[in-house]
Amino acid sequence: MITFLKILKFLPPEIAHGLALNALNILYRTRLLRFFYVKPTASPKIFAGMTFQNMLGTAAGLDKNGDYIDCLGELGFGFLEVGTVTPEKQYGNAKPRVFRNFQENAIINKLGFNNKGVDHLLKNLKSKKYDGIVGVNVGANKWSSEKERVQDYLLCIEKVYKYADYITVNISSPNTPNLRDFHNEKNIIGLVDAIDLKVSELNIQTPLFLKISPDESKESIDRIIEVVSKSKFTGIIATNTTIDKSSLSNSKLRNIEGGLSGEPLLKKSTDILRYIKNKSNNQIPVIGVGGVMDSQSFNEKIQAGSSLVQIYTGFVIKGPSIVSEILRN
Protein backbone atom coordinates (compact mmCIF):
# COMPACT_ATOMS: atom_id res chain seq x y z
CA MET A 1 0.00 0.00 0.00
CA ILE A 2 2.87 2.38 0.80
CA THR A 3 4.38 1.69 -2.66
CA PHE A 4 1.00 2.39 -4.28
CA LEU A 5 0.76 5.74 -2.49
CA LYS A 6 4.27 6.66 -3.64
CA ILE A 7 3.37 5.84 -7.24
CA LEU A 8 0.32 8.10 -7.04
CA LYS A 9 2.56 11.10 -6.36
CA PHE A 10 4.02 10.78 -9.86
CA LEU A 11 0.65 10.71 -11.60
CA PRO A 12 -1.45 13.74 -12.61
CA PRO A 13 -3.37 14.86 -9.49
CA GLU A 14 -6.91 14.13 -10.67
CA ILE A 15 -5.94 10.71 -12.04
CA ALA A 16 -4.18 9.90 -8.78
CA HIS A 17 -7.22 11.04 -6.80
CA GLY A 18 -9.56 8.82 -8.79
CA LEU A 19 -7.26 5.80 -8.63
CA ALA A 20 -6.83 6.16 -4.87
CA LEU A 21 -10.55 6.34 -4.18
CA ASN A 22 -11.31 3.47 -6.56
CA ALA A 23 -8.62 1.35 -4.88
CA LEU A 24 -10.19 2.06 -1.48
CA ASN A 25 -13.59 1.14 -2.88
CA ILE A 26 -12.30 -2.18 -4.24
CA LEU A 27 -10.69 -3.02 -0.90
CA TYR A 28 -13.96 -2.14 0.84
CA ARG A 29 -16.13 -4.23 -1.49
CA THR A 30 -13.81 -7.22 -1.20
CA ARG A 31 -13.72 -6.80 2.59
CA LEU A 32 -9.96 -6.36 2.54
CA LEU A 33 -9.84 -2.74 3.67
CA ARG A 34 -9.81 -3.70 7.35
CA PHE A 35 -6.50 -5.51 6.84
CA PHE A 36 -4.83 -2.29 5.66
CA TYR A 37 -6.44 0.33 7.91
CA VAL A 38 -7.67 -0.24 11.44
CA LYS A 39 -10.50 1.96 12.65
CA PRO A 40 -9.58 4.11 15.65
CA THR A 41 -11.57 3.63 18.83
CA ALA A 42 -14.75 5.67 18.80
CA SER A 43 -14.91 8.77 20.98
CA PRO A 44 -18.50 9.97 20.49
CA LYS A 45 -19.37 13.65 20.53
CA ILE A 46 -22.86 15.13 20.48
CA PHE A 47 -23.07 18.28 18.39
CA ALA A 48 -26.03 20.10 16.84
CA GLY A 49 -28.32 17.27 17.86
CA MET A 50 -26.18 14.66 16.09
CA THR A 51 -23.87 12.00 17.50
CA PHE A 52 -20.47 11.87 15.85
CA GLN A 53 -18.18 8.87 16.40
CA ASN A 54 -15.27 11.31 16.71
CA MET A 55 -14.43 14.92 15.86
CA LEU A 56 -12.55 14.30 12.59
CA GLY A 57 -14.33 14.32 9.24
CA THR A 58 -13.73 14.86 5.55
CA ALA A 59 -14.08 18.28 3.99
CA ALA A 60 -16.12 18.81 0.86
CA GLY A 61 -14.21 18.13 -2.35
CA LEU A 62 -12.74 14.78 -1.39
CA ASP A 63 -15.86 12.92 -2.53
CA LYS A 64 -17.74 15.38 -4.70
CA ASN A 65 -20.52 13.05 -5.81
CA GLY A 66 -20.94 10.73 -2.86
CA ASP A 67 -19.54 7.85 -4.89
CA TYR A 68 -17.23 6.71 -2.08
CA ILE A 69 -19.26 7.19 1.09
CA ASP A 70 -19.11 3.57 2.23
CA CYS A 71 -15.38 3.01 1.75
CA LEU A 72 -14.41 6.37 3.29
CA GLY A 73 -16.68 5.60 6.22
CA GLU A 74 -14.69 2.44 6.89
CA LEU A 75 -11.52 4.45 7.56
CA GLY A 76 -12.76 5.67 10.93
CA PHE A 77 -13.87 9.22 10.18
CA GLY A 78 -16.38 10.64 12.62
CA PHE A 79 -18.37 12.08 9.75
CA LEU A 80 -18.20 12.74 6.02
CA GLU A 81 -19.08 15.81 3.97
CA VAL A 82 -19.78 15.20 0.29
CA GLY A 83 -20.02 17.72 -2.55
CA THR A 84 -19.87 20.50 -3.53
CA VAL A 85 -22.89 19.59 -5.62
CA THR A 86 -24.84 21.85 -7.98
CA PRO A 87 -28.35 21.52 -9.49
CA GLU A 88 -26.98 20.51 -12.89
CA LYS A 89 -23.85 18.50 -13.61
CA GLN A 90 -20.90 20.56 -14.79
CA TYR A 91 -17.38 19.87 -15.96
CA GLY A 92 -15.72 22.65 -14.03
CA ASN A 93 -12.74 24.64 -15.22
CA ALA A 94 -10.24 23.59 -17.88
CA LYS A 95 -7.40 21.23 -17.00
CA PRO A 96 -4.79 21.29 -15.59
CA ARG A 97 -6.60 22.55 -12.53
CA VAL A 98 -4.97 20.80 -9.55
CA PHE A 99 -1.37 21.38 -8.48
CA ARG A 100 0.28 19.53 -5.59
CA ASN A 101 3.19 20.91 -3.59
CA PHE A 102 4.51 18.03 -1.49
CA GLN A 103 7.41 20.08 -0.14
CA GLU A 104 5.03 22.50 1.59
CA ASN A 105 2.12 20.08 2.16
CA ALA A 106 -0.12 22.17 -0.04
CA ILE A 107 -2.51 21.92 -2.97
CA ILE A 108 -3.77 24.59 -5.34
CA ASN A 109 -7.01 23.81 -7.11
CA LYS A 110 -9.16 25.67 -9.58
CA LEU A 111 -11.64 22.83 -10.14
CA GLY A 112 -14.77 24.97 -10.29
CA PHE A 113 -17.45 22.75 -8.73
CA ASN A 114 -16.98 19.85 -11.14
CA ASN A 115 -19.69 17.35 -10.21
CA LYS A 116 -22.36 15.02 -11.61
CA GLY A 117 -25.30 17.05 -10.32
CA VAL A 118 -27.52 16.83 -7.26
CA ASP A 119 -29.68 13.97 -8.59
CA HIS A 120 -26.66 11.69 -8.92
CA LEU A 121 -25.58 12.51 -5.37
CA LEU A 122 -29.11 11.91 -4.13
CA LYS A 123 -29.09 8.36 -5.50
CA ASN A 124 -25.87 7.67 -3.60
CA LEU A 125 -27.28 9.07 -0.37
CA LYS A 126 -30.33 6.83 -0.68
CA SER A 127 -28.28 3.69 -1.35
CA LYS A 128 -25.36 4.14 1.08
CA LYS A 129 -24.69 1.53 3.77
CA TYR A 130 -22.58 3.80 5.97
CA ASP A 131 -24.62 4.72 9.03
CA GLY A 132 -22.47 7.59 10.23
CA ILE A 133 -23.08 11.32 9.80
CA VAL A 134 -23.05 12.54 6.19
CA GLY A 135 -23.27 16.25 5.40
CA VAL A 136 -23.96 17.65 1.94
CA ASN A 137 -22.18 20.72 0.62
CA VAL A 138 -24.28 22.66 -1.92
CA GLY A 139 -23.29 25.30 -4.45
CA ALA A 140 -24.42 27.09 -7.59
CA ASN A 141 -23.85 26.36 -11.26
CA LYS A 142 -21.18 28.44 -12.95
CA TRP A 143 -23.51 29.79 -15.63
CA SER A 144 -26.28 30.86 -13.25
CA SER A 145 -26.93 34.58 -12.78
CA GLU A 146 -26.87 36.14 -9.30
CA LYS A 147 -30.61 35.64 -8.81
CA GLU A 148 -30.50 32.16 -10.31
CA ARG A 149 -27.72 31.20 -7.89
CA VAL A 150 -29.99 31.81 -4.92
CA GLN A 151 -32.47 29.44 -6.55
CA ASP A 152 -29.66 26.93 -7.14
CA TYR A 153 -28.97 26.78 -3.41
CA LEU A 154 -32.67 26.48 -2.61
CA LEU A 155 -33.18 23.68 -5.13
CA CYS A 156 -30.25 21.67 -3.78
CA ILE A 157 -31.37 22.15 -0.18
CA GLU A 158 -34.91 21.07 -1.03
CA LYS A 159 -33.67 17.92 -2.78
CA VAL A 160 -31.19 16.72 -0.16
CA TYR A 161 -32.51 17.80 3.23
CA LYS A 162 -34.39 14.55 3.90
CA TYR A 163 -31.26 12.48 3.24
CA ALA A 164 -28.46 14.69 4.58
CA ASP A 165 -27.58 14.81 8.26
CA TYR A 166 -26.53 18.43 7.79
CA ILE A 167 -26.20 20.84 4.87
CA THR A 168 -23.37 23.24 4.10
CA VAL A 169 -24.04 26.30 1.95
CA ASN A 170 -20.80 27.01 0.11
CA ILE A 171 -20.40 30.70 -0.79
CA SER A 172 -16.62 30.70 -0.62
CA SER A 173 -15.07 28.76 -3.50
CA PRO A 174 -12.69 31.10 -5.35
CA ASN A 175 -13.09 29.08 -8.56
CA THR A 176 -16.64 30.02 -9.53
CA PRO A 177 -16.71 33.61 -10.82
CA ASN A 178 -18.28 36.09 -8.38
CA LEU A 179 -19.45 33.38 -5.96
CA ARG A 180 -17.66 35.12 -3.10
CA ASP A 181 -19.84 38.17 -3.73
CA PHE A 182 -22.31 36.44 -1.42
CA HIS A 183 -20.11 37.65 1.44
CA ASN A 184 -21.26 41.20 0.64
CA GLU A 185 -23.94 42.66 2.93
CA LYS A 186 -26.82 42.84 0.46
CA ASN A 187 -26.08 39.44 -1.07
CA ILE A 188 -25.57 37.49 2.15
CA ILE A 189 -28.74 38.91 3.70
CA GLY A 190 -30.72 38.09 0.56
CA LEU A 191 -29.38 34.54 0.38
CA VAL A 192 -29.83 33.73 4.07
CA ASP A 193 -33.33 35.25 4.12
CA ALA A 194 -34.32 33.12 1.12
CA ILE A 195 -32.95 29.98 2.77
CA ASP A 196 -34.67 30.82 6.06
CA LEU A 197 -37.96 31.16 4.19
CA LYS A 198 -37.46 27.79 2.49
CA VAL A 199 -36.60 26.18 5.83
CA SER A 200 -39.82 27.54 7.32
CA GLU A 201 -41.96 26.54 4.34
CA LEU A 202 -40.74 22.93 4.40
CA ASN A 203 -40.21 22.73 8.18
CA ILE A 204 -36.63 21.64 7.59
CA GLN A 205 -34.95 20.42 10.77
CA THR A 206 -31.61 19.56 9.12
CA PRO A 207 -28.78 21.69 10.57
CA LEU A 208 -27.39 24.31 8.17
CA PHE A 209 -23.83 25.65 8.05
CA LEU A 210 -22.35 28.53 6.05
CA LYS A 211 -18.88 27.89 4.61
CA ILE A 212 -16.90 31.11 4.39
CA SER A 213 -13.74 32.42 2.77
CA PRO A 214 -10.49 33.02 4.67
CA ASP A 215 -9.84 36.14 2.60
CA GLU A 216 -12.53 38.35 4.13
CA SER A 217 -11.95 41.49 6.19
CA LYS A 218 -12.95 41.60 9.87
CA GLU A 219 -15.80 43.89 8.85
CA SER A 220 -17.07 41.23 6.46
CA ILE A 221 -16.72 38.46 9.04
CA ASP A 222 -18.53 40.61 11.64
CA ARG A 223 -21.40 41.03 9.19
CA ILE A 224 -21.57 37.28 8.56
CA ILE A 225 -21.57 36.59 12.30
CA GLU A 226 -24.49 38.99 12.75
CA VAL A 227 -26.47 37.53 9.83
CA VAL A 228 -25.90 33.92 10.90
CA SER A 229 -26.75 34.65 14.54
CA LYS A 230 -30.17 35.98 13.50
CA SER A 231 -30.89 33.20 11.02
CA LYS A 232 -31.92 29.55 11.07
CA PHE A 233 -28.33 28.50 10.38
CA THR A 234 -26.70 26.36 13.06
CA GLY A 235 -23.18 27.64 12.51
CA ILE A 236 -20.21 28.38 10.28
CA ILE A 237 -17.53 26.29 8.58
CA ALA A 238 -14.22 28.16 8.63
CA THR A 239 -12.68 28.15 6.12
CA ASN A 240 -12.44 27.41 2.43
CA THR A 241 -9.21 27.77 0.42
CA THR A 242 -7.32 31.06 0.14
CA ILE A 243 -6.30 32.99 -2.96
CA ASP A 244 -3.33 34.41 -1.03
CA LYS A 245 -0.27 32.38 -2.04
CA SER A 246 2.40 34.74 -0.72
CA SER A 247 3.50 32.17 1.85
CA LEU A 248 4.62 29.69 -0.82
CA SER A 249 8.34 29.44 -1.51
CA ASN A 250 7.74 28.19 -5.07
CA SER A 251 7.34 31.33 -7.21
CA LYS A 252 5.73 29.42 -10.09
CA LEU A 253 2.98 28.12 -7.84
CA ARG A 254 2.40 31.59 -6.39
CA ASN A 255 1.28 32.74 -9.84
CA ILE A 256 -1.24 29.94 -10.42
CA GLU A 257 -4.90 30.89 -10.14
CA GLY A 258 -7.04 28.94 -7.71
CA GLY A 259 -7.46 28.23 -4.03
CA LEU A 260 -4.59 27.21 -1.79
CA SER A 261 -5.17 24.54 0.85
CA GLY A 262 -2.98 22.57 3.22
CA GLU A 263 -0.36 23.57 5.75
CA PRO A 264 0.10 27.18 4.50
CA LEU A 265 -3.60 27.79 5.27
CA LEU A 266 -3.47 26.59 8.87
CA LYS A 267 -2.73 29.86 10.68
CA LYS A 268 -5.05 32.00 8.58
CA SER A 269 -8.04 29.66 8.85
CA THR A 270 -7.49 29.02 12.55
CA ASP A 271 -7.20 32.74 13.29
CA ILE A 272 -10.60 33.28 11.65
CA LEU A 273 -12.08 30.37 13.58
CA ARG A 274 -10.81 31.85 16.84
CA TYR A 275 -12.06 35.32 15.88
CA ILE A 276 -15.59 34.04 15.18
CA LYS A 277 -15.73 32.24 18.52
CA ASN A 278 -14.51 35.29 20.42
CA LYS A 279 -16.61 37.84 18.53
CA SER A 280 -19.78 35.79 18.98
CA ASN A 281 -19.01 35.08 22.66
CA ASN A 282 -18.94 31.37 21.78
CA GLN A 283 -22.56 31.57 20.63
CA ILE A 284 -21.91 30.43 17.04
CA PRO A 285 -20.71 26.83 16.58
CA VAL A 286 -17.81 26.52 14.15
CA ILE A 287 -16.45 23.55 12.23
CA GLY A 288 -12.76 24.13 11.60
CA VAL A 289 -11.03 23.23 8.34
CA GLY A 290 -7.81 24.30 6.70
CA GLY A 291 -4.25 23.07 7.14
CA VAL A 292 -4.82 20.02 9.35
CA MET A 293 -1.90 17.70 8.66
CA ASP A 294 -1.37 15.95 11.99
CA SER A 295 -2.62 15.65 15.57
CA GLN A 296 -0.96 18.94 16.54
CA SER A 297 -2.83 21.00 13.93
CA PHE A 298 -6.00 19.04 14.71
CA ASN A 299 -5.68 20.02 18.36
CA GLU A 300 -4.97 23.64 17.40
CA LYS A 301 -8.40 23.79 15.77
CA ILE A 302 -10.07 22.35 18.87
CA GLN A 303 -8.23 24.71 21.20
CA ALA A 304 -9.33 27.64 19.02
CA GLY A 305 -12.94 26.64 19.62
CA SER A 306 -13.78 24.23 16.81
CA SER A 307 -16.64 21.84 17.56
CA LEU A 308 -15.54 19.49 14.77
CA VAL A 309 -12.55 19.36 12.42
CA GLN A 310 -12.33 18.50 8.72
CA ILE A 311 -9.41 17.43 6.53
CA TYR A 312 -8.82 17.28 2.80
CA THR A 313 -5.27 18.10 1.77
CA GLY A 314 -3.77 16.14 4.68
CA PHE A 315 -5.64 13.06 3.47
CA VAL A 316 -4.45 13.55 -0.12
CA ILE A 317 -0.81 14.18 0.85
CA LYS A 318 -0.42 11.56 3.59
CA GLY A 319 -3.03 8.95 2.69
CA PRO A 320 -5.73 7.19 4.74
CA SER A 321 -3.40 6.39 7.64
CA ILE A 322 -3.66 10.05 8.69
CA VAL A 323 -7.07 9.29 10.25
CA SER A 324 -5.77 6.91 12.90
CA GLU A 325 -2.55 8.93 13.32
CA ILE A 326 -4.55 12.02 14.28
CA LEU A 327 -7.12 10.31 16.46
CA ARG A 328 -4.81 8.12 18.50
CA ASN A 329 -2.70 11.09 19.67
> Per DSSP, what are the bridge partners of residue 81?
135
- For residue 235, the SS3 value is strand
Are 309 and 57 in contact, with CB atoms under 8 Å apart?
A: yes
> Per DSSP, what are the bridge partners of residue 238?
212, 288
Distances, alpha carbon 169 to alpha carbons 120, 138, 184, 212, in Å: 18, 5, 15, 9
Whether residue 173 lies in the annotated active site? yes
C-alpha Rg value of the chain to the nearest Å:
18
Helix, strand, coil % in the chain, rounded to nearest 5: 40, 20, 40
H or E stretch at 152: helix 146-160
H or E stretch at 215: none
Cβ density class 87-103: b for 16+ within 10 Å, e for less: beebebbeeebbbbbee
Are 161 and 202 in contact, with CB atoms under 8 Å apart?
A: yes
Are 278 and 304 in contact, with CB atoms under 8 Å apart?
A: no
Of 144, 172, 173, 306, which one is the catalytic site residue?
A: 173
Catalytic residues: 173
